[in-house]
Chains A and B, each alone.
Chain A
Amino acid sequence: MDPTLSLADYLAAGGKLTAPGNVTPRYRAELLRLLATFVDSSLAGAAGFADTINAGPGIAERIAAARIVMEKTQNAARILRLMGEFGADTARYAGSHPWAARLPRKADIGAERSEHDMRLAVFNYPLAGWDDAVVMNLLMGQAAVVQLADFQTISYQPAADAFRAIAPVEAAHRDLAHAGLAQRIAAGADRSALEASVRYWWPRVAVSFGGGSGTRQALLHGLGLRHQSAGDQRSAWEDAAARNLEGFGLTPGA
């Protein structure tokens, strides 16, 4: 439109892109990668958690777990619709991968993604029972809250809108996990097992914020697809997640 204004300058000044027709190829690729990461993580998270519904100790817990599975799947659908506007086959997408597939509990893949989907590495690890799932949801739920705060500022307006609608849903999942953990502790859950779960999930959630390559971060920053640095996100999560655990007498370094 305006030949004197570059995309970089436009985005740096807080400009928004509003439709698939006005993004550049590089922007398109990075945006789709970001959206696919969210969709795949949500689908994998929901699929992995679905099996745990039956492990819920009571009806209320099972309803909470089923609700989390349903709403994470809805969140995936919402973002997948945006990918569909860029050409992604939304009908085939869910069926294209085994979202419930997990690695062995002892696998150590760091921040490495699988070959076949873009789920965050943490969603490649299996849950080990109800209490473990509650701890994982509390830690990862907080990570989602931190991540979504940044996603709401991204320069692709339709995606920022969608993430704005998703953020309170994810925050509610974290709150359900918090209530779930309180319930388990009141019911006399095995504290050393809970501590072991925290030790297991803490580092695996922590690497989700990425940040390995400085050039990649600079690229995303320049495109307005990321505002807070990976390091700042991780420390924001560490503070909040530690506070979430504190009330239960659990600590990350336990």
Chain B
Amino acid sequence: MARFLPLTVTEVRKTIRDAVVVTLQPENPADFTFAPGQYLTFRRDFDGEELRRSYSICSGADDGLLQVGIKRVEGGTFSTWANTELEPGAVLEAMAPMGSFTTEYDAGRSRHLLGFAGGSGITPIMSILRSLLAREPKSRFTLVYANKGIGTIMFREELEDLKNTHMGRLNVIHVLEDDAQEIDLFTGLVTREKCADLFANWIDIANVDGAFICGPEPMMLGIAAALRDHGLDDAQIRFELFASSQPGRAAKPAGGTRAKAASGATEVVLTLDGATRRLSAATGETLLETALAGSVDAPFACRAGVCSTCRCRVLEGEVEMRTNHALEDYEVARGYVLSCQAVPVSARVVVDYDQ
């Protein structure tokens, strides 16, 4: 289960106009030992509602620092707050580092890793390349870094410094969407075709051992396709979606409010995969039992309230959970229940598996 630990903010540094690097001091550093490429999930209360947001660690494994990069997202409550109000001395709460956008390091190894970053997708890749340069003296890193324009490049100076410190081992190719550059290839979007051109002339793709991609989804797909075209397999291509990103996030369906329950029986109105069914529940029956009895293909696994597979959201009415070992208080506060444990106590219950 999620455990949040306090972190004291020791520095908030602006990198570009709308992004900050936040340095954090944990009470017990061992709790925040991280693998380069991992992220932290923060929680904070905004006007009574708990928000959770994940940000990638950008410091290297041997920097002796815990830093995350936070880019302000248009309309984003947490990121706007971090960019405008967060100050040293503040205490944040975060879970231990998570994520598998990582690699193992071995000082004796000599390899060539490739990174593709789009905008703030640079943060986990900064951590990876810093760690590689520090830990594997014989390895090299090539970064293809896509940004709108020169003014939106996070860590521009840091990358220059790293290039100078580790002569010949870090190569950075900036691709700018709007700003023209001397070489045409370095202008525009990083697509499958552009990757093919880069591999033809600028990057020795035949000798690349692995690739890390973090950026907008269409960019990641194009790059991954190009890498596969050039012989890399799934085990060598690592994706990192922005942690809160969800391709094609569904619009919130409107909760139906019709039909009065017949006296005595409980009416369960259940939405799954966009289809809504009206079912009648026997007394004491769980939502899951009602759904399965009505031939609804509702998800479940353990039936014991521990695995959370059967999670759904109650939009109307009241239910009681017999036991709950899988949902956290903030989820319950939002109406999420474990359908294998939830028994209706009101005459009508409206639940949604699609939220």
> In the bound complex, do residue A18 and residue B247 qualify as a contact, i.e. CB atoms below 8 Å apart?
no
Chain A residues lying within 8 Å of B310, measured Cβ to Cβ, are 29
> In the bound complex, do residue A32 and residue B299 qualify as a contact, i.e. CB atoms below 8 Å apart?
yes
5 A-B contact pairs sorted by A residue (CB < 8 Å): A1-B216, A6-B248, A10-B217, A14-B221, A29-B353
Q: Residue on B with the closest CB to A114?
A: B303
> In the bound complex, do residue B247 and residue A22 qualify as a contact, i.e. CB atoms below 8 Å apart?
yes
> In the bound complex, do residue B241 and residue A17 qualify as a contact, i.e. CB atoms below 8 Å apart?
yes
Chain A residues lying within 8 Å of B99, measured Cβ to Cβ, are 18-19, 158
> In the bound complex, do residue A9 and residue B248 qualify as a contact, i.e. CB atoms below 8 Å apart?
yes
> In the bound complex, do residue B302 and residue A118 qualify as a contact, i.e. CB atoms below 8 Å apart?
yes
- Give CA–CA (A10, B245) in the complex, Å: 12
Chain A residues lying within 8 Å of B54, measured Cβ to Cβ, are 19, 21
Which residue of the partner chain, among A1, A88, A153, contacts B241 with CB atoms under 8 Å? A1
- Of the candidate stretches A51-59, A91-99, A183-191, the one touching chain B is A91-99
- Is A23 interfacial (CB 8 A cutoff)? yes
Chain A residues lying within 8 Å of B42, measured Cβ to Cβ, are none
Q: Residue on B with the closest CB to A37?
A: B301
- Give CA–CA (A153, B224) in the complex, Å: 14
- Is B243 interfacial (CB 8 A cutoff)? yes
Chain A residues lying within 8 Å of B249, measured Cβ to Cβ, are 24
Chain B residues lying within 8 Å of A118, measured Cβ to Cβ, are 301-302
**With contacts A1-B242, A2-B216, A26-B354 known, is A161 near B100, CB below 8 A?**
yes
A:56-91 near B, CB below 8 Å: 83-89, 91
Binary per-residue interface labels of chain B (300-328) against chain A in the complex, 1 for a CB within 8 Å, 0 otherwise = 11111011111100000000000001111
Which residue of the partner chain, among A15, A30, A89, A117, contacts B221 with CB atoms under 8 Å? A15
Interface SS majority for chain B: loop
Chain A residues lying within 8 Å of B135, measured Cβ to Cβ, are none
> In the bound complex, do residue A19 and residue B241 qualify as a contact, i.e. CB atoms below 8 Å apart?
yes
- Give CA–CA (A13, B303) in the complex, Å: 34
Chain A residues lying within 8 Å of B263, measured Cβ to Cβ, are none
B35 to chain A, nearest CB (A): 12
- Of the candidate stretches B86-94, B164-172, B202-210, B231-239, the one touching chain A is B231-239
**With contacts A13-B225, A16-B239, A29-B309 known, is A115 near B245, CB below 8 A?**
no
> In the bound complex, do residue A87 and residue B327 qualify as a contact, i.e. CB atoms below 8 Å apart?
yes
Which residue of the partner chain, among B218, B304, B311, B355, contacts A96 with CB atoms under 8 Å? B304
Output the residue of A19, A25, A161 with the most chain B CB within 10 A. Answer: A19
- Give CA–CA (A10, B241) in the complex, Å: 12
> In the bound complex, do residue B246 and residue A1 qualify as a contact, i.e. CB atoms below 8 Å apart?
yes
17 new A-B contacts at CB < 8 Å, known A92-B325, A93-B302, A153-B234: A1-B217, A2-B247, A6-B247, A9-B248, A11-B247, A15-B217, A19-B241, A19-B243, A21-B246, A24-B246, A25-B353, A25-B354, A26-B354, A89-B325, A92-B306, A117-B302, A157-B100
Output the residue of B244, B306, B328 with the most chain A CB within 10 A. Answer: B306
A:115-163 near B, CB below 8 Å: 115-118, 152-153, 157-158, 160-161
**With contacts A19-B54, A29-B299 known, is A86 near B308, CB below 8 A?**
yes
- Is A5 interfacial (CB 8 A cutoff)? yes
Chain B residues lying within 8 Å of A153, measured Cβ to Cβ, are 234
Chain A residues lying within 8 Å of B41, measured Cβ to Cβ, are 21
**With contacts A1-B245, A89-B325 known, is A36 near B307, CB below 8 A?**
yes
Chain B residues lying within 8 Å of A6, measured Cβ to Cβ, are 247-248
B285 to chain A, nearest CB (A): 15
